[in-house]
């Protein structure tokens, strides 16, 4: 079973709510829990950025810049709304399964 890109967006936002992350580390964190390919996240990050749910900033690292992704207030609100809807959906699905 594959995650839809919508749900993947919220997985990304949930990770960024804990801490700001750069592309590679963010991919590693998501890959620890769900099976995605190395390159899946870039379009997701781009989409979230366009929606105003995250912003980027550069930070120097060993003589080069790393681009960090940071969740915005709008992103946090969107994530909180999603969590409420997700819990409702989960209950409904579980009522069928149990």
Residue with smaller CB distance to another protein, 22 or 82:
22
By C-beta, is 32 or 94 nearer to another protein?
A: 32
Query: Would you say 4 or 37 has its CB closer to another protein?
Result: 37
Minimum distance from CB of 38 to another protein (Å)? 5
Q: How far is the CB of 64 from another protein (least distance, A)?
A: 6
Provide, rounded to whole angstroms, the least separation between the CB of residue 21 and another protein: 11
Nearest-angstrom CA–CA distance, 96 and 90: 10
Closest CA to 83 of 7, 26, 25: 7
Residue ranges in contact with another protein by CB under 8 A: 22-25, 27, 37-40, 42-43, 45-47, 64-67
Distance CA 19, CA 14 (A): 9
CA gap 55, 53 in Å, rounded: 7
* H-run or E-run covering 78: helix 73-97
């Amino acid at each position: 079973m594959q995650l839809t890109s919508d749900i993947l967006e919220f997985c990304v936002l949930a990770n960024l709510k804990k801490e700001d992350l750069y592309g590679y580390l963010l991919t590693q964190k998501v890959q620890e829990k769900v099976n995605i390919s190395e390159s899946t996240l870039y379009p997701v990050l781009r989409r979230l950025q366009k929606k105003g749910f995250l912003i980027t900033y550069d930070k120097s690292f060993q003589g080069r810049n790393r681009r960090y992704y940071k969740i915005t207030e709008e992103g946090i609100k969107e994530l909180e709304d999603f969590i409420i809807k997700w819990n409702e959906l989960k209950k409904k699905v579980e009522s069928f399964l149990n």
